[in-house]
Amino acid sequence: MSHASTIRGQEILNNPALNKETAFTMTERQSLGLEGLLPPTVENIDRQLERVQTQLAAKPNDLERYIYLMSLAARNKTLFYHTLMSDPARFVPIVYDPTVADACLTFGHIYRGSAGMYLTRDMKGRFKKILRNWPVKDVRFICVSTGGRILGLGDIGANGMGIPIGKLQLYTACAGVPPEALLPVLLDIGTTNAALRADPLYLGLRELPPDEAEVDLISDAFIEAATDVFPGVCIHFEDWKGTDAMRLLARYRDKVLCYNDDIQGTAAIAVAGLTTALQIKNETFADQRVLFLGAGSAGIGIASMIVSAMVEAGLGEAEARERIVLIDVNGLIETSRTDLNEWQKPFAHEAKPTKDLLEVVRTFKPTILIGVSTIGGAFTEEVVREMAKLNERPVIFPLSNPTNKAECTAEQAYTWTKGKALYAAGVQFPDFEYQGKSYHPGQANNFYIFPAIGLAVYATRPARITDDMFITAAAATADQVGPSAREHGMLFPLQANILETEVTTATRVAEHIFDSGQATVERPENIRAWIEGLLYKPVYKEL
């Protein structure tokens, strides 16, 4: 922050990285030309937090709280992160899922200012020059989306910018990655959403997306530019259209430092929750039969990581795949289908074609039911009761979000299984009491995983990100759920301790990176202490 000495007065107050608002000392006010520009009272950051909380309490809903917090981030980044990190269980659902879904749907209408970069397909030949307009030169992570498949909302184009912004804010709020190292990018290739293209307040290109070949060329140009302008940067792909997501991860994963959170992060958090559930059941992955409703990038990603877990538990890869069945919008993934993509084909089995989920439950007899379909209520009472008939402790993971897309609610799952379900959803449902016992539904949210991966990568600077890192993160997350928490059906650590949880997970991942020879920095004697020394702390610095 040495450039603080070169700017004075209103310029400092307009710089969110330097602005302390009422926390500037009298000495700072005199030396920096701030006298008269602020009220006379000098406050500490906790007094400022009180004011933030008071103003948030007066807002009528979480979307208005989201708007307020984004405005706070734009004027005082330190106070923004101090707020988030003071109570992550309260604030993460406001700045991210589920509130971010409403924010994205209305993004053009609630827009207050840019918090990242917008690259359009017609800038393809100038990406390097344009990326150099970003004021920070040592960018370590770029979260990039086309807005092609946002949460369960589908293609919302430039409105999807709320996701890269929110994801990177969680890197800092949940894992202490310094915010100046983070750059949200919306790669605007157009949108299939005709209603948005006709909306006068829509901020993106009013064009249909190009074909896959052109998407690949645009992506190649972006990857080349980003890695040239920001050497060593990690590219975090987020919410691309499913086929683009799978294809481009395969295209780049062995060439540049990158990962796709929808595929690898979602898989890791699902495996983490399943690991805890199986520990409660005293079973292994080798004992399971897994049925998916949904076979897009998230479903295939989770299924592939479960195959790895089953192989680690002693099964052969072919045998593991036989224990996993998927259903998509066109029915069961089976060998007579001619419309399967290359990632679905390995999971196609000899079976009678059907679109009936209940029929597949009865014939396949799954121990685990996972929903990534974005079809709210798809896990009907009949389906859930059948799972309970087949299993003493059925594992039911309706992972679609936002809330109205969940395949079943926690209350439904616990009621229909008479409290036997081991349950986690993609959103946080409230605690539920059934026959005198209190249940705390799990939230299989990627924020347990990707910020910890980010922190480990930030610290160790590997050349590539591997699936093994995500599997390590999943195991580390599961290991942090204690016996008393499991008694209440909890499958994930408490969100209130998210920074401690993520540092523990990041330490395990960093150890794996060092042990496997992938780190490009010298191994410290005490990895955890070293990582803790790198953490961002939301405290004001003397100017």
What the block records as the tokens of 426 is 């993609």
Distance CA 277, CA 468 (A): 21
Q: What is the pLDDT of residue 384?
A: 98
pLDDT in tens, 124-149: 999 999 999 999 999 999 999 999 98
What residues are paired with 397 via a beta bridge?
Answer: 370
What letters, b where the CB count within 10 A reaches 16 and e where it falls short, cover 242-271? bbbbbbbbebbbeebbbbbbbbbbbbbbbb
**pLDDT surpasses 90 at 41:** yes
pLDDT grade, residue 496 (50/70/90)? confident
Residue type, 273: G
Give me the mean pLDDT over the 359-368 stretch.
98
Smallest CA-to-CA distance from 324 within 367, 260, 359 is with 367
Annotated binding site for a divalent metal cation: 238-239, 262
Q: What is the pLDDT of residue 145?
A: 96
Average per-residue pLDDT in the chain?
95
Q: Choosing from 96, 171, 536, 540, which is the catalytic residue?
A: 96
Annotated binding site: 149, 238-239, 262, 401, 445
Q: What is the pLDDT of residue 428?
A: 86
Number of Cβ within a 10 Å radius of residue 19: 20
What letters, b where the CB count within 10 A reaches 16 and e where it falls short, cover 435-453? eeeebbbbbbbbbbbbbbb
**What end-to-end distance do the CA atoms of the chain give, in Å?**
8
Q: What is the pLDDT of residue 494?
A: 86
pLDDT in tens, 319-331: 999 999 999 999 9
Give me the mean pLDDT over the 495-507 stretch.
95
Confirm if 234 and 465 have CB atoms less than 8 A apart.
Answer: yes
Give me the mean pLDDT over the 2-9 stretch.
70
What residues are paired with 334 via a beta bridge?
Answer: 349
Confirm if 258 and 182 have CB atoms less than 8 A apart.
Answer: no
Q: Is 167 assigned a catalytic role? A: yes
Higher pLDDT, 10 or 490: 10
Task: Give the least confident one: 61-65, 72-76, 401-405, 522-526.
Answer: 401-405
Task: Give the least confident one: 130-134, 152-156, 432-436.
Answer: 152-156
pLDDT in tens, 214-250: 999 999 999 999 999 999 999 999 999 878 999 999 9
Whose structure tokens read 């402790």? 393
Q: What is the pLDDT of residue 2?
A: 44
Q: Choosing from 20, 66, 81, 167, which is the catalytic residue?
A: 167
3 state SS of 21? helix
Distance CA 426, CA 182 (A): 25
3 state SS of 426? coil
Q: What is the pLDDT of residue 241?
A: 86
pLDDT grade, residue 477 (50/70/90)? very high
**pLDDT surpasses 60 at 4:** no
Which domains does the chain possess? Answer: 1-42 (1.20.1370.30), 96-257 (3.40.50.10380), 263-443 (3.40.50.720), 446-532 (no CATH)
Q: What is the pLDDT of residue 6?
A: 80
Beta carbons within 8 Å of 139's beta carbon, 6+ residues apart: 181, 182, 183, 230, 233
Distance CA 122, CA 204 (A): 12
pLDDT grade, residue 459 (50/70/90)? very high
Give me the mean pLDDT over the 178-200 stretch.
97
Give me the mean pLDDT over the 157-163 stretch.
95
**pLDDT surpasses 60 at 3:** no
**pLDDT surpasses 90 at 154:** no
Q: Is 111 assigned a catalytic role? A: no
Task: Give the least confident one: 16-20, 241-245, 437-441.
Answer: 241-245
By the 10 Å C-beta count (0-12 exposed, 13-18 middle, 19+ buried), 200 is classed as exposed
Task: Write down the pTM of the prediction.
Answer: 0.92
DSSP state of 150: B
Give me the mean pLDDT over the 70-93 stretch.
96
DSSP state of 207: S
Give me the mean pLDDT over the 355-365 stretch.
97
**pLDDT surpasses 80 at 505:** yes
pLDDT in tens, 272-330: 999 999 999 999 999 999 999 999 989 999 999 999 999 999 999 999 999 999 999 99
3 state SS of 27? helix
CA angle 391, 395, 399 (to 5 degrees): 150
Distance CA 234, CA 117 (A): 16
Q: What is the pLDDT of residue 1?
A: 40
Q: How far is CA 62 from CA 84, 91, 93, 94, 102, in A?
A: 14, 10, 9, 6, 9
Give me the mean pLDDT over the 488-493 stretch.
88
Q: What is the pLDDT of residue 5?
A: 56
Annotated binding site for (S)-malate: 149, 401, 445
